[in-house]
Amino acid sequence: MPSPSAPRSREVSLLPSLLTTGNLLCGFAAVVAAAHGQVTTAVAWVFLGMAFDILDGQVARWIGIATDFGVEYDSLADVITFGLAPAFLTVMAALQGFGRWGWVSGFLFVVGAALRLARFNVRANGSAHGAHFEGLPSPAAAGALASWVLLGEASGWPGPFPWVTLLLPPVLALLMVSTLPYRHFKQGRRSVRRLSWLVAGFAALLAVAVAEPRWALPLLFGGYALSGPVAALARRLSRRATPRLGRPAGRPMDETTDE
């Protein structure tokens, strides 16, 4: 005889998929809003999709029912919300004047997001290893692109905005498919010890974002997107400097240790 708690367990197990469906709905709504020229509304839908994307994974882990189906469904939703939606928004809002180059730029972003998500599922089986993601996560790339479009729309697209916007999607696509490490912020032993500082920092960033979103959001997401290549460059320079400082006197430096 089935346990009385079985129906409730089945209902709870549907919650992550319902949240993923909310993410998918946000992506679809962002595309519709962009098609009607509602840039601010489309950007808001993309960011709301991020909230659903965070919640579905967290809820699945909390109740201990993370499944392969949930991982695949989440990735399919992410391709729409964090791949197609921001790319379509960018083309409609800023790149139509570039003709075919505009939609090629947007298409490259969609391809980068799809490849990033496929690799993430295959290599990590739906989770990040250690303290890093491999490549720029697609929600962060979507946030960088959507917030840039929001800034350009609020500023009237003066000066170099359209040209930077043409190059930004393929650059973000390259960062997504790269092997550069990007830190994630899931709780672990280190994050628990520093939880109060993280909460305070997040609260400060949230306050700035609410007060001046058109500048705060591009700086926040753009800074995170740049953190990967900047950290990689810093490590490379450090490796080059270390042999010079540590090698014995009179002994030539072994260049084969450099990458």
The domains of the chain, with CATH numbers, are 7-243 (1.20.120.1760)
Mean pLDDT of the chain: 81
Residue 85 has pLDDT above 90, yes or no: yes
Mean pLDDT for 142-165 is 86
Pick the residue with more confidence: 119 or 196? 119
**CB burial string 156-169: b at 16+ within 10 A, e below:** ebeeebbeebbebb
Q: Per-residue pLDDT averaged across 146-170, rounded? A: 87
Give the predicted TM-score (pTM) of the model.
Answer: 0.80
Q: What is the pLDDT of residue 224?
A: 92
